[in-house]
Amino acid sequence: MNQIDIQNLVRQNVKKLKPYSSARDEFKGSADVFIDANENPYDNGYNRYPDPRQIKLKEKISHWRNVPLENIFVGNGSDEVIDLVIRAFCIPGVDNVVGFNPSYGMYDVSAGINDVELIKVDLKPDFTLDFEALKRAITSHTKVVFLCSPNNPSGNELPYSEVINFIEGVNAIVVIDEAYIDFADQKSMITKINDHPNLIVMQTLSKAMGSAALRIGMGFAQQPLINILNKIKPPYNISSAAQAEAIKIFENIDQLTTQTQKIKSERERLKMELTRYKQVSEIFPSAANFILIRVDDANKLYNFLTSEGIIVRNRHGQKHCDNCLRITVGTPDENDLLIYKLDEYYYAENIVSR
Ligand SMILES: Cc1ncc(COP(=O)(O)O)c(C=O)c1O
């Protein structure tokens, strides 16, 4: 059990901050007349400000993930959670955050916007993490560590037993970004938040939950950490429309689970198909809804697929990703088309023999 006091990590100005108190914060009950928020009184479905605490949505999330309401923070996508964590804990130009490389690009961008250095620990060439190297990278000014599992763009998972050891020994906030957890076999770290006051498990409705356009990201943590994020978030960070639509997706959870299963089985089929091409020299293990592959010439294949109307992500140029493409698993028809085009490409090149 980690005894760390996160109040020692929070920026002084955030500690002292008196948060904005909205009209909806100051009066929460029901009433006949609301003339407290300078809204247009004529009802059109969206003339009122949204619930700043997103209680109805959090009730759904709480039931879905089996986490009490007070341990849930909802952000405008996980991207907002990343930004708020950096702003709550890092003094610009002084503190730093630590992450690994390659990983999700927004840690770098958000840190940069906030004038906070991101110290990057290179993953090994097979994209596994050297935890000793991660520990060595931490300085007295490290306030946040970002760990992504399954990792984007490599698709592999971190061994959670080692992650737990790491969290125990570090005097910083640890964010585990589990955007792709529903495609993984390993269980979420959510169950560990009670043991670690410095742990935030971040998830999103953008991936398996099929709602990227709604911009709903979640942070799961102990209450003191959630309170800090609530204190500094914009009062109305999730629109009423997004809250209402997000609530609806929980009615279709069975359908989403079926889709997730289908995506996972298509991922395995795609992997099998890709083994047929000898120019695909590596297919990295994936616990996500994408596969990273290494080919003979990523730029050339990328351009070919683009010209055929199939857009994959060219990761050539990222650490250990020479000639790598990241392919999101599509519908069976989309995956068939990709395979068809790859056959065409490699046959036209007259390289492959079946
Ligand atoms: C690892 C990871 N975290 C977070 C996100 C962003 O999620 P959101 O749509 O909730 O901002 C992405 C998006 O691609 C991602 O790959």
Q: Distance from the CA of 79 to the center of ligand 1, in angstroms? A: 7
Q: Distance from the CA of 261 to the center of ligand 1, in angstroms? A: 20
> Rounded to whole angstroms, how far apart are CA atoms 5 and 56?
31
> Rounded to whole angstroms, how far apart are CA atoms 318 and 161?
28
* Percentage of residues of the chain with pLDDT beyond 70: 98
> Rounded to whole angstroms, how far apart are CA atoms 351 and 354?
10
- Whether the per-residue pLDDT at 353 is higher than 70: the answer is no
Helix (H) or strand (E) holding 180: none
* C-beta of 109 in contact with ligand 1 (< 6 A): no
Q: How far apart are the first and last CA of the chain?
A: 56
pLDDT for the residue 1: 62
pLDDT digits (tens, 9 = 90+) for 77-101: 999 999 999 999 999 999 999 999 9
- Whether the per-residue pLDDT at 354 is higher than 50: the answer is no
Per-domain boundaries in the chain? 6-251, 253-348
Pairing of strands 173-177, 142-148: parallel
Q: Distance from the CA of 179 to the center of ligand 1, in angstroms? A: 6
> Rounded to whole angstroms, how far apart are CA atoms 160 and 203?
16
What letter would DSSP give residue 318?
B
Least confident of 96-100, 105-109, 349-353: 349-353
Quick one: which atom of ligand 1 is closest to the CA of 79? 11
* C-beta of 96 in contact with ligand 1 (< 6 A): no
pLDDT for the residue 127: 98
pLDDT band of 26, cuts 50, 70, 90? confident
Least confident of 23-32, 148-157, 159-168, 339-348: 23-32
* C-beta of 177 in contact with ligand 1 (< 6 A): yes
Q: Pick the closest to residue 277 from 257, 263, 297, 261 (CA basis).
A: 297
> Rounded to whole angstroms, how far apart are CA atoms 74 and 86?
16
Q: Pick the closest to residue 249 from 75, 67, 63, 53 (CA basis).
A: 63
Q: What is the pTM of this model?
A: 0.96
Backbone angles phi, psi at 258, to 5 degrees: -60, -45
Q: Does domain 253-348 have CATH number 3.90.1150.10?
A: yes
> Rounded to whole angstroms, how far apart are CA atoms 312 and 306?
8
* Class of the domain covering 6-251: alpha beta
Backbone angles phi, psi at 290, to 5 degrees: -150, 165
Helix (H) or strand (E) holding 238: none
pLDDT digits (tens, 9 = 90+) for 293-337: 999 999 999 999 999 999 999 999 999 999 999 999 999 999 999
Q: Do domains 6-251 and 253-348 have the same CATH topology?
A: no
- Whether the per-residue pLDDT at 17 is higher than 80: the answer is yes
> Rounded to whole angstroms, how far apart are CA atoms 270 and 343?
13
- The whole-angstrom distance between residue 306's C-alpha and the CA centroid of its chain comes to 26
Cβ of 253: how many Cβ atoms within 10 Å?
A: 12
